[in-house]
Structure 1
Amino acid sequence: MSHGRAEETDDEVRERLLTGYTGRLLLTVSLGWTAIQTGRLVLSPLLPSVMADLAITEFQAGLAFTLLWGLYALGQYPSGRLSDRLTRKSLLVAGLSLVVVGFAALASAPTYLFYLAGAAVVGAGAGLYPTPARALVSDLFVERRGQAFGLHTASGDVGGAAAAGLAVAVLAVAGWRTAFAPVVAVLAGTALALHVWAREAYDRPRTDREAVAAGVADARTTAARLWANPRLRWYLLAYALYAFTWQSAAGFLPTFLRVAKGFPADLASGGFAALFLVGAVVKPLAGSLGDRFPRAAVAAGALAVAAGALAGLLAASGTVAVGLAVVAFAAGLMAYPPVMQALLMDTFPDGSMGGDLGATRTVYIGLGSLGPSYVGFVAGRASYEAAFAGLLGCLLVGAAVVVGLARSR
């Protein structure tokens, strides 16, 4: 198995972002990420319709998000470790296939339990995808890795913006279930494109007792090695606080704008779309800044901007003031991931890059998956303002941690 470039000609080794073999694969895996994010994030602006149709509470809706994100998090380490041993293509196509099944189940869910089952399958399938996708991007790009990560992670924000538009369109002409039909079609097409274009063969993981025991031993070794790095522990704390905030906002921002700020449904979806449209622009720029300046300093600045903007959002009244606060919140929030992911990849050895990235993603996404349940619980018993005020505290602590790390270098 080869993850490198030994099989490519000199022309194909060039790190092209949009053309050639590297560009084609970057765009393909990014399209897959766009579609996955569209399907997951379209649930947010559709949430009032879903809650009414299935007769569920804010907390039950939050639990569904937590289940989806939690299983997604649990898949990060095994998918990363498998991507170090199998081909990236094997994991990517398998993940896309599972997500197709999960979204089809969500679209046809007659009850809340069936809806939870669909969310679980989506989470499990999505968990197989991003770590090998990011590892593949690292295989393809070295000198332009920050830019490549910026473009790849921005593709998820394109999916978020598409989710908002998709929600408005389907609610205007059909029910919330219709939103998943185009998502399934794009995901199936992406899987086919990877099958045709990626040159790697397919591998199957070993499932015998010896392989399972080796996997457990590897997990323990990885955890011990990562935990022994003090800076990495602090990075994980900062990233977990960020993920808690991000997943909470991704799940409930449209509902927050409707309930706390009095926005109509279409304007709330527009605010949700702005979050990702700004992110699609900011992430590549942040990735480039991280290539030129100390990455910890850039990440700390991003969190500081997000915290200040969220404070402004909580205090703002009126459409223009709230809209400007959402844009500033998006700029700070979305500038963070490409810089921190490149920083983490810099700290991992090449031979275990996928597994180490997967392990760290399991930790911070897993802790972050509790965010939607927190928001649903607090909003149902107090208010959405109180729930989002707690997110402000997470950003402030995260910013303080990363500032300390930047100063200690």
Structure 2
Amino acid sequence: MKPSWWNNNYTVLMITWMGWISIYLARSVLPPVLPVLSAELGMTHAQSGLLETAYLIGYIISKLPAGVLSDRYGPRRVLASSMIGYGAATFLVSYAQGFTDIFALRFLVGLFQGVHLPVANALLSDRFGDKQSRAIGFNESGANVGNTLAFPVAVSILSVWGWRTAFMVLSVPAFLLSVATFLFMKDEPKTQQTDDPEENHNIREYLWVLIPYALSHATYNLVLRTTFTFIPSFLVEFKGMEVAAAGFMAMALPFAGIFAKMGSGFIVERTGPKYAICGSAALSAVFLASLVWYPGESLLALNLLILGLTLYSFSPIIYSSTTSSLPSGLKAMGLGMVTMFGNIVGAVSTSVVGALIDGRGYGFTFLAISVVTILASVLIFAVMSKK
């Protein structure tokens, strides 16, 4: 029985939140098993980075059509269908015979998962109004819950049954949630176009508003893709940890991100997006660099926790600031544009970072990314300071 204060807005919020959990259970199975998978299939670090690039190419392609599909078929059908798609693609990775197979399937995972962010956050922005930053922050924390769960579950399955079974098991929640979405989520009323020029807007009118958020998302993706893809391998190869221990240690990043995202709405309400975004970017750079500045393991867990708090706090701020700056009919498209640009940077950066690690090592690569992130935060601050 539902409590008296419960309404359909909270049903939508819980479905989109659990959607992020199932997305990251399917998505995050790869990094903790990557050392074993790469060794078995003979892949280099550059090829490992290309697997994330494949995912992001698919993720990017579906960003802009997501809003159109949502308007035409409704968020309920789009979200539920995407869950079936990425669940099936993740399951099929368990039958992959080489790099090419996994590359193609990770592309499909990204293609189906890419619609969730713009569709879900635009939906929550309309439903929660001036409290949207808190709702979106809570919603985005689901990604970190899924990421946190995926690491130990994947490592546990890996140690007993192997990496192929890990992909099978972590694809199942997507199928279950698709059924729940069809059953419990209601169809949304379609947005009506009017002849009033005050209500009909063009996305070009808002490009200057979107530019700093697109730059912010690109900076976020640079650091996120580096840590998401390479931290488990970094802990094994640079810190000398065992694969299982590295998988559990890497869990500190997304675990801290759960609390960072839930608190992000309160942060932006008090500081504004400019200081919240730029401060988080600069601090993320500092704590990424400190991973290689201090070679010992005594402060490693604390370093990863703080990096997780700073890194994951500013993505919901970017999303809620973007949607709150746009009229209802443009929210999904505008958010799709912002995240598409950031994901393009992420798609390019993973293969570049992998190649840098192959050629120059983890120390040089992590410090270089930290410097770029500091410079980017200064640029974003300057752009957001202009009217």
Q: TM-score, normalised by structure 1?
A: 0.86
What is the alpha-carbon distance in structure 1 between the residues aligned to residue 155 and residue 11 of structure 2? 31
What is the alpha-carbon distance in structure 1 between the residues aligned to residue 84 and residue 186 of structure 2? 19
Please identify, of 233-242 and 47-56, the stretch whose mean Cα deviation from structure 2 is larger. Answer: 233-242
What is the alpha-carbon distance in structure 2 between the residues aligned to residue 297 and residue 64 of structure 1? 34
From the superposition, tell whether residues 175 and 359 of structure 1 become closer, same or farther in structure 2 (CA, over 3 Å): same
| 2:267 paired residue among 289, 296, 302 | 289
1:154 pairs with 2:141: yes
C-alpha contact 1:310 1:329 (8 A) present in aligned 2: yes
- Residue 317 of structure 1, CA deviation: 2.0
- Residue 235 of structure 1, CA deviation: 2.8
Matches within 5 A, 1:218-233: 222=203, 224-227=204-207, 229=208, 231-233=209-211
State the match for 1:22 in structure 2. Answer: 9
What is the alpha-carbon distance in structure 1 between the residues aligned to residue 189 and residue 34 of structure 2? 38
Give the 3-state SS of the residue equivalent to 2:96 in structure 1: coil
Give the 3-state SS of the residue equivalent to 1:320 in structure 2: coil
1:332 pairs with 2:310: yes
What is the alpha-carbon distance in structure 1 between the residues aligned to residue 338 and residue 97 of structure 2? 36
| 2:53 paired residue among 50, 58, 66 | 66
C-alpha contact 1:303 1:399 (8 A) present in aligned 2: yes
Counterpart residue identity of residue 237, structure 2: V
Give the 3-state SS of the residue equivalent to 1:142 in structure 2: helix
Give the 3-state SS of the residue equivalent to 2:369 in structure 1: helix
What is the alpha-carbon distance in structure 2 between the residues aligned to residue 270 and residue 401 of structure 1? 36
| 1:174 paired residue among 145, 158, 161 | 161
C-alpha contact 1:90 1:202 (8 A) present in aligned 2: no
| 1:136 paired residue among 120, 123, 126 | 123
Long gaps (5+) in structure 1: 1-10, 204-220
C-alpha contact 1:245 1:394 (8 A) present in aligned 2: no
C-alpha contact 2:322 2:334 (8 A) present in aligned 1: no
Give the 3-state SS of the residue equivalent to 1:318 in structure 2: coil
Question: Identity over aligned residues, as a percent?
Answer: 24
Matches within 5 A, 1:3-402: 19-200=6-187, 222=203, 224-227=204-207, 229=208, 231-402=209-380
What is the alpha-carbon distance in structure 1 between the residues aligned to residue 383 and residue 357 of structure 2? 34
C-alpha contact 1:257 1:268 (8 A) present in aligned 2: yes
State the match for 2:195 in structure 1. Answer: none
- Residue 79 of structure 1, CA deviation: 0.7
Count of residues paired in the alignment: 375
C-alpha contact 1:247 1:371 (8 A) present in aligned 2: yes
What is the alpha-carbon distance in structure 2 between the residues aligned to residue 138 and residue 235 of structure 1? 16
What is the alpha-carbon distance in structure 2 between the residues aligned to residue 352 and residue 368 of structure 1? 24
Q: Deviations over 1:237-264 (max 9, x none)?
A: 2321221221121111111122112222
Q: Deviations over 1:61-114 (max 9, x none)?
A: 111110111210121111123223431112111211110121012121122221
C-alpha contact 2:63 2:118 (8 A) present in aligned 1: yes
What is the alpha-carbon distance in structure 2 between the residues aligned to residue 254 and residue 367 of structure 1? 21
C-alpha contact 1:80 1:359 (8 A) present in aligned 2: no
Q: Deviations over 1:115-159 (max 9, x none)?
A: 122112111111122211112222321132111111111110111
Q: CA RMSD in A?
A: 2.2
From the superposition, tell whether residues 406 and 363 of structure 1 become closer, same or farther in structure 2 (CA, over 3 Å): closer
C-alpha contact 2:64 2:337 (8 A) present in aligned 1: yes
- Residue 226 of structure 1, CA deviation: 4.7
From the superposition, tell whether residues 172 and 202 of structure 1 become closer, same or farther in structure 2 (CA, over 3 Å): farther
- Residue 49 of structure 1, CA deviation: 1.1
What is the alpha-carbon distance in structure 2 between the residues aligned to residue 226 and residue 268 of structure 1? 44
Counterpart residue identity of residue 131, structure 1: P
What is the alpha-carbon distance in structure 1 between the residues aligned to residue 155 and residue 381 of structure 2? 40
Long gaps (5+) in structure 2: 191-201
C-alpha contact 2:326 2:334 (8 A) present in aligned 1: yes
What is the alpha-carbon distance in structure 2 between the residues aligned to residue 75 and residue 167 of structure 1? 27
Give the 3-state SS of the residue equivalent to 1:334 in structure 2: helix
Q: TM-score, normalised by structure 2?
A: 0.91
C-alpha contact 1:286 1:335 (8 A) present in aligned 2: yes
- Residue 397 of structure 1, CA deviation: 2.0
What is the alpha-carbon distance in structure 2 between the residues aligned to residue 35 and residue 65 of structure 1? 18
- Residue 298 of structure 1, CA deviation: 1.4
- Residue 271 of structure 1, CA deviation: 2.5
What is the alpha-carbon distance in structure 1 between the residues aligned to residue 154 and residue 18 of structure 2? 19
C-alpha contact 1:84 1:354 (8 A) present in aligned 2: no
